[in-house]
């Protein structure tokens, strides 16, 4: 029980920190981190910029509020708040996922990052969409499972920022690390989500 509480608080801290991270782009010169690898022509492109800011702002909001949905006490005590947060999360995910798919087509490093990030955007979009459809159809269990997968994909914003500096050090540069992290930032998250779902719903059936 203690380990579960600690894990939940660590998750919350990571999500809040990275959820607020997009604010940096409005405070300092934005050509740092991932944007340092982009060409001046791309950074001046209006459509790309629209998609980029849509992705990071709404993705940040989804990350910032999504972890609250896994608080059982909140769901039981205030189901209306759970639904309101859920609506904001779903809209943010769907729009950020579409924008993320677009900017992934311009990912630095060739075909591997492009495929990795577009695949992640599709997984994020459709797990969220199908999770929404499940609850609209009254299928609570399916909704819960799909939203765990959805947030696992959303959490790639955190795992990317953990893996990228580690892999950059190991492989001696940004590009080889970026080609790997395009997949490593989200596939293990889905595996963990699968294990959580398997364990959690086995317990529910026993009770």
Q: Are 22 and 56 in contact (CB under 8 A)?
A: yes
C-alpha–C-alpha distance, residues 107 and 134, integer Å? 32
Of the candidates 125, 117, 124, the residue with the CA atom closest to the CA atom of residue 164: 117
Q: What is the pLDDT of residues 77-130, one digit of tens each?
A: 889 999 999 999 999 999 999 999 999 999 999 999 999 999 999 999 999 999
Q: Per-residue pLDDT for 206 more than 90? A: no
| The pLDDT value given to residue 25 | 73
In residues, how long is the chain? 207
Q: Are 159 and 189 in contact (CB under 8 A)?
A: yes
Domain definitions of the chain by residue range: 2-27+38-206
This prediction has a pTM of 0.89
Q: What is the pLDDT of residues 1-56, one digit of tens each?
A: 666 777 777 878 888 888 887 777 776 666 666 777 788 899 889 999 999 999 99
Residue 73 CB neighbour total at 10 angstroms: 7
């Amino acid at each position: 029980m203690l380990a579960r509480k600690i894990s939940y608080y660590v998750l919350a801290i990571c999500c809040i920190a990275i959820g607020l991270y997009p604010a940096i782009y409005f405070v300092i010169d934005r050509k740092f981190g991932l944007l340092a690898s982009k060409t001046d022509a791309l950074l001046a492109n209006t459509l790309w910029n629209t998609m980029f800011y849509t992705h990071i702002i709404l993705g940040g909001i989804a990350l910032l509020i999504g972890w609250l949905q896994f608080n059982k006490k909140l769901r039981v005590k205030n189901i209306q708040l759970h639904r309101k947060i859920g609506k904001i999360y779903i809209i943010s995910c769907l729009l950020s996922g579409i924008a993320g798919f677009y900017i992934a087509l311009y990912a630095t490093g060739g075909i591997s990052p492009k495929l990795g990030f577009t695949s992640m955007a599709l997984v994020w979009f459709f797990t969220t969409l199908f999770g929404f459809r499940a609850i609209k159809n009254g299928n609570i269990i399916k909704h819960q499972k799909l939203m765990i997968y959805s947030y696992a994909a959303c959490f790639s914003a955190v795992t990317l920022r953990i893996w990228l500096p580690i892999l950059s050090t190991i492989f001696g540069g940004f590009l080889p690390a970026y080609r790997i992290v395009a997949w490593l930032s989200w596939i293990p998250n889905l595996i963990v989500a699968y294990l959580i779902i398997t364990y959690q719903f086995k317990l529910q059936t026993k009770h």
